[in-house]
């Protein structure tokens, strides 16, 4: 039984029930809150304990990094990762040929610290509850690894594939003998699209040991760069220039012959740039070059290839007569016997080059020769396109610097005597101009360059050795006794009378 307190409608008992319900609900809520707080606290504590460790389920391919700190992860990666792909191959198939490149040949390398750091960041930016899922091992993440490799090894493989599967095109050629022109047809070749080939290989190089790429490529037609129809524009001589030489007995003439023969037969298509150094290369004895005098600063020293600057200078003059400007050209440090100041072109591979671009819309064919004391270059092209104009490179000397006399004492020469060891060379400041003639009349004069040439001193040896004075004869006082003795010795012996 209970005491009834309330109105007639039974409000009293309901209030008591509501109060009990409220207490019960409050207790439940309190328990839940305490439970949640305890859970959150527990999760936070667990998450905090993994702050400096990689979460479970984080892999680099087949390598489990879960539970490791960065330093430990780096150590494990260094031990296991490199060896996982050394036997992996990049397989290329072109028609009926198959070529392979092993990853060992690519010399793969990794940034282990970067990989470990990336593995450490997995899940660390998530909420604590998501982090807890990682910790419980409910997620599996594979960290992609960036692979570095020897790019030169890849390029070498690409070139090997192209050489083995492709057929190189053959350029059209031209021969000109005594004005007669003969053209040989070009032949198309086959090759791989080089850009597509390279990009596909790069895209398929990765560190995944379980992924081995097998790539198939088709051959495409490769047209010859120089086609016969282009060479039909060459119909005659457009310029020529010759310089004289004297056979000095050293390797100079041989060097000029090799250089001129190398340039001879060159075809320049419209827009092509000619590089003397690019064509000649190093003047080594293996190529047949010999030692002859060259300029080094303001000194004359023997070196392999001495004389090839006369070839470049002669070519320069022939090219200027075709009204083609240089893209790179430099004068000698000293004047040369085969060219006036301001009209030469020196070379010194790889530092100083002579270059020019074919600015015409037709091909240019270059003939060069060294024979009989003459270096000659002749350029052939479209004579009709040249019109009635001719061109000549001329110079103007602004200043001349006379050499000074430099004396060198020589203790082996007598004082007062002199001997010229080497005669000095004058220096110059000169400008060059391209003169245009139309029907033999000058119509234009264009400034090209101003060049300065150094002087060299005249070297004279001067004797410093003192002259020896002749020895004076001394007056000797003779001993009378010696004189008598001497007289007695000269007198005939007196024999007794019998």
Q: How many C-beta atoms lie closer than 10 Å to residue 92's C-beta?
A: 25
Binned at pLDDT 50, 70 and 90, residue 494 comes out as: very low
Quick check: 251 pLDDT over 90? yes
126 or 323, greater pLDDT: 323
Q: How far apart are CA 252 and CA 368, in angstroms?
A: 16
Indicate the Cα dihedral angle 407, 411, 413, 416, nearest 10°: 60
What pLDDT is stored for residue 137 in this prediction? 74
What pLDDT is stored for residue 285 in this prediction? 97
Quick check: 46 pLDDT over 80? no
What H or E segment, with its residue span, contains residue 25?
A: helix 11-49
Residues 6+ positions from 95 with CB-CB distance below 8 Å = 165, 218, 219
Look over the chain and give the mean of its residue pLDDT values, rounded to a whole number: 88
Binned at pLDDT 50, 70 and 90, residue 49 comes out as: confident
Q: What is the DSSP string of 315-370?
A: HHHHHHHTT--EEE----SS--TTS-TTS----BTTTB--EEE--SSS-EEEEEEE
Range with the lowest mean pLDDT among 98-102, 139-143, 394-398?
139-143
Quick check: 491 pLDDT over 80? no
Q: How far apart are CA 345 and CA 28, in angstroms?
A: 101
What pLDDT is stored for residue 425 in this prediction? 94
Binned at pLDDT 50, 70 and 90, residue 15 comes out as: low
CB 46 within 8 A of CB 56: no
Does the predicted TM-score (pTM) go above 0.75?
Answer: no
Range with the lowest mean pLDDT among 9-18, 213-222, 337-346, 473-482?
473-482
Quick check: 45 pLDDT over 90? no
Quick check: 397 pLDDT over 60? yes
- Could you give the percent of the chain with pLDDT greater than 90? 64
Q: Where are the domains of the chain?
A: 237-465
Q: How far apart are CA 475 and CA 406, in angstroms?
A: 49
Bridge partner residues of 142 (DSSP): 59
Q: How many C-beta atoms lie closer than 10 Å to residue 183's C-beta?
A: 16
What pLDDT is stored for residue 281 in this prediction? 97
Binned at pLDDT 50, 70 and 90, residue 471 comes out as: low
Average pLDDT over residues 13-29: 73
What H or E segment, with its residue span, contains residue 295?
A: strand 291-296
479 or 193, greater pLDDT: 193
Average pLDDT over residues 38-58: 76
Q: What is the DSSP string of 222-285?
A: E--SS-HHHHTT--EEEEEEEEE----SSSHHHHHHHHHHHHTT-EE-TTPEEEHHHHH----G
What pLDDT is stored for residue 6 in this prediction? 47
Question: Cis peptide before 350, with omega less than 30 degrees from 0?
Answer: yes
CB 115 within 8 A of CB 145: yes
Q: How far apart are CA 372 and CA 47, in angstroms?
A: 93
486 or 44, greater pLDDT: 44
Kindly state the tokens that stand for 176: 């000109």
Q: How many C-beta atoms lie closer than 10 Å to residue 155's C-beta?
A: 12
Residues 139-170 pLDDT 10s: 888 888 888 899 999 999 999 999 999 999 99
Average pLDDT over residues 19-42: 73
Range with the lowest mean pLDDT among 60-74, 342-356, 480-494?
480-494
Average pLDDT over residues 329-341: 97
CB 297 within 8 A of CB 245: no
DSSP 8-state class, residue 84:
G
Report residue 48: phi and psi, to 5°: -60, -35
What H or E segment, with its residue span, contains residue 151?
A: helix 151-165
Binned at pLDDT 50, 70 and 90, residue 489 comes out as: very low
Binned at pLDDT 50, 70 and 90, residue 433 comes out as: very high
Quick check: 486 pLDDT over 60? no
CB 213 within 8 A of CB 204: yes
Residue carrying structure tokens 């030489």: 245
Closest CA to 213 of 108, 90, 106: 90
Binned at pLDDT 50, 70 and 90, residue 4 comes out as: very low
């Amino acid at each position: 039984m209970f005491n009834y307190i309330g109105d007639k409608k039974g409000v009293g008992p309901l209030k008591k029930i509501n109060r009990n319900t409220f207490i019960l609900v409050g207790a439940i809520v309190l328990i839940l809150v305490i439970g949640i707080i305890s859970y959150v606290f527990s999760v936070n504590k667990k998450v905090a304990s993994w702050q400096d460790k990689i979460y479970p389920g984080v892999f680099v391919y087949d390598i489990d990094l879960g539970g490791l700190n960065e330093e430990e992860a780096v150590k494990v990666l260094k031990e296991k990762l490199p060896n996982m792909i050394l036997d992996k191959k990049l397989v290329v198939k072109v028609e009926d040929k198959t070529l392979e490149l092993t990853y060992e040949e690519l010399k793969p390398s990794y940034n282990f610290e970067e990989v470990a750091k990336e593995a450490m960041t997995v899940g660390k930016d998530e909420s604590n509850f998501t982090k807890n899922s990682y910790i419980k091992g409910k997620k599996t993440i594979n960290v992609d690894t960036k692979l570095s490799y020897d790019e030169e090894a890849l390029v070498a493989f690409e070139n090997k594939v192209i050489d083995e599967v492709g057929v190189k095109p053959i350029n059209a050629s031209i021969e000109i003998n005594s004005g007669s022109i003969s053209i040989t047809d070009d032949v198309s070749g086959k090759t791989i699209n080089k850009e597509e080939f390279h990009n596909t290989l790069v895209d398929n190089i990765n560190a995944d040991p379980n992924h081995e790429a097998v790539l198939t490529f088709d051959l495409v037609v490769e047209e010859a760069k120089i086609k016969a129809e282009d060479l039909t524009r060459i119909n005659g001589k457009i310029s020529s220039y010759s310089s004289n030489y004297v056979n000095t007995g050293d390797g100079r003439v041989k060097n000029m012959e090799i250089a001129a023969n190398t340039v001879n037969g060159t075809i320049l298509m419209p827009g092509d740039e000619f590089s003397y150094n690019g064509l000649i290369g190093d003047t080594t004895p293996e190529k047949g070059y010999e030692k002859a005098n060259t300029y080094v600063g303001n000194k004359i020293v023997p070196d392999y290839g001495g004389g090839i600057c006369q070839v470049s200078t002669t070519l320069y003059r022939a090219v200027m007569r075709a009204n083609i400007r240089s893209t790179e050209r430099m004068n000698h440090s000293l004047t040369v016997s085969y060219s006036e100041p301001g009209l030469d072109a020196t070379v010194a591979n790889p530092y100083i080059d002579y270059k020019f671009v074919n600015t015409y819309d037709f091909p240019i064919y270059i003939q060069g020769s060294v024979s009989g004391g003459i270096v000659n270059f002749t350029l052939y092209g479209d004579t009709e396109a040249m019109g009635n104009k001719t061109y000549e490179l001329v110079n103007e000397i602004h200043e001349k610097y006379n050499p000074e006399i430099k004396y060198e004492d020589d203790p082996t020469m007598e004082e007062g005597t002199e001997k010229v060891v080497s005669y000095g060379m004058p220096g110059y400041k000169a400008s060059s101009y391209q003169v245009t003639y139309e029907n033999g009349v000058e119509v234009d004069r264009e400034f090209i360059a101003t060049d300065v040439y150094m002087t060299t001193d005249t070297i004279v040896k001067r004797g410093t050795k003192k002259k020896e004075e002749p020895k004076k004869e001394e007056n000797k006082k003779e001993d009378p006794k010696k004189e008598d003795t001497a007289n007695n010795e000269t007198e005939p012996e007196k024999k007794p009378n019998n």
